[in-house]
Amino acid sequence: MKLTGVELRRIRMPLVAPFRTSFGTESRREVLLLRVVTADAEGWGECVAMAEPRYSAEYVDAAADVLRRFLVPALAERQRLDASAVAPALAPFAGHRMAKAALELAVLDAELRAEGRSLGHALGAVRDRVPCGVSVGIMGSVAELLDAVGGYLDAGYVRIKLKIEPGWDVEPVRAVRERFGDDVPLQVDANTAYTLADARHLARLDPFDLLLIEQPLAEDDLLGHVRLARIIRTPVCLDESITSARAAAAAITLGACSIVNIKPGRVGGYLEARRIHDVCAAHGVPVWAGGMLETGLGRAANVALAALPNFTLPGDTSASDRYYRTDVTPPFVLDGGHLAVPTGPGIGVDPVPAELDAVTTSTEWLPL
């Protein structure tokens, strides 16, 4: 495939409600979209970096900068390029996995559209619909939380994830169990808010039969997670710590986690994400699809990934209306707690031009 150029497009979309985690509150999403143009097709990639470097070191202005200065020019040196060559071409540049993932996805989408193949098919999807969970932010009160959880259960979500932090953990979990019962699949996500000194406190979550606790400790604290996993009964799942298939293999082998959250942006792309899926499957470790408040473009790709065989837990692949009043693609709509895996070529969805233009704050064309 010969690339003609790459468009960087910034969009700004208000969230339907503020989303509070242990690291901050998001009220709107600043997204960087990539459109790769080739002689035969165009392809879209969504960069999941946020406006500020809180979830990870990456942030959206830095992603645009590294793409413009280093990553896109590195592809220009290749006469012919297919998607499997993108990560090797970008490997000389350290880090910036979210920026790399977006560029790889855009090239992959263009390639698959030119071939008339769907991303799900290309990745090895075995399902045509995926079960969906929802991630529920930290609220001002337990009453507000119960209202929100009740609304999501009514909408059909098959699993609830509560964001937690010190001071908002055992009580909200207890309240959700008391109101909605023991049968609701329930898990929590701390986004690194605790230390190993909190192990006894986190063990107080044991009686609530949670599916998992996600990333209780710091990103680089694998040893801490090993120790914590020996103290608490709730299975430990890692998100921020799993930056590659190698990191996943190490975490599993050390006993730092027994479940893995897979986000392609965090690991440098969908092809590395599939390798993590395979490594986990080989170890008998279940995986599930994480989310980064994606628009319909990134969501389409995440839903395709979530259709792989070892994605045995519901993902943070919620419907468009969980995030946005108007999506940039035709909306993803929940059907019996599931989203349909797109079947069209590539990611299988296209932006609606008027919707996309309405939220665009800038565009920049990088010729190759």
Of 76-84, 193-201, 236-244, 281-289: span binding Mg ion (CB under 5 A): 236-244
- 189 makes contact with Mg ion (CB under 5 A): yes
Which residues inside 260-289 make contact with ligand SMG, applying CB under 6 A? none
State how far the Cα of 258 lies from the Cα of 158, in Å rounded to an integer.
21
CB of 50 to ligand SMG, least distance (A): 6
Select the binding partner of residue 318 from ligand SMG, Mg ion, none (C-beta < 5 to 8 A, by kind): ligand SMG
Size of the site for ligand SMG (CB under 6 A): 14
The total number of residues shown for the chain amounts to 368
- 19 makes contact with ligand SMG (CB under 6 A): yes
Q: Residues 2, 100, 161, 163: which is the catalytic one?
A: 163
β-strand partners of 360? 11
CB of 1 to ligand SMG, least distance (A): 30
Stretch 130-149: interaction string toward Mg ion, x if CB under 5 A: --------------------
Q: By C-beta, is 38 or 295 nearer to ligand SMG?
A: 295
- Assess contact for 19 and 25: CB atoms under 8 A: yes
Which residues inside 212-231 make contact with Mg ion, applying CB under 5 A? 214
Select the binding partner of residue 314 from Mg ion, ligand SMG, none (C-beta < 5 to 8 A, by kind): none
Q: What is the 3-state secondary structure (H, E, C) of the chain?
A: CCEEEEEEEEEEEEEEEEEEECCEEEEEEEEEEEEEEECCCEEEEEECCCCCCCCCCCCHHHHHHHHHHHHHHHHHCCCCCCHHHHHHHHCCCCCCHHHHHHHHHHHHHHHHHHHCCEHHHHHCCCCCEEEEEEEECCCCCHHHHHHHHHHHHHHCCCEEEEECECCECHHHHHHHHHHHCCCCCEEEECCCCCCHHHHHHHHHHHHHCCCCEECCCCCCCHHHHHHHHHHCCCCEEECCCCCCHHHHHHHHHHCCCCEEEECHHHHCCHHHHHHHHHHHHHCCCCEEECCCCCCHHHHHHHHHHCCCCCECCCECCCCHHHCCCCCCCCCCCCECCEEECCCCCECCCCCCHHHHHHHEEEEEEEEC
Q: By C-beta, is 86 or 247 nearer to Mg ion?
A: 247
State how far the Cα of 46 lies from the Cα of 294, in Å rounded to an integer.
8
Of 58-66, 79-87, 187-195, 202-210: span binding Mg ion (CB under 5 A): 187-195
- 191 makes contact with ligand SMG (CB under 6 A): yes
Amino acid at 269: G
- 58 makes contact with ligand SMG (CB under 6 A): no
Stretch 36-55: interaction string toward ligand SMG, x if CB under 6 A: -------------------x
CB of 156 to Mg ion, least distance (A): 22
State how far the Cα of 68 lies from the Cα of 150, in Å rounded to an integer.
44
Confirm whether 2 is a catalytic residue.
no
- 239 makes contact with Mg ion (CB under 5 A): yes
CB of 215 to Mg ion, least distance (A): 5
Which position among 1, 110, 276, 293 is part of the footprint of ligand SMG (CB under 6 A)? 293
- 168 makes contact with ligand SMG (CB under 6 A): no
- 59 makes contact with ligand SMG (CB under 6 A): no
Which residues inside 237-256 make contact with ligand SMG, applying CB under 6 A? 239
Question: Nearest residue by C-beta to ligand SMG?
Answer: 291
β-strand partners of 42? 37
Confirm whether 263 is a catalytic residue.
yes
Q: Which residues contact ligand SMG (rule: CB under 6 A)?
A: 19, 21, 26, 55, 135, 189, 191, 239, 290-293, 316, 318
Q: Which residues contact Mg ion (rule: CB under 5 A)?
A: 189, 214, 239
Q: So which residues are the catalytic ones?
A: 163, 263
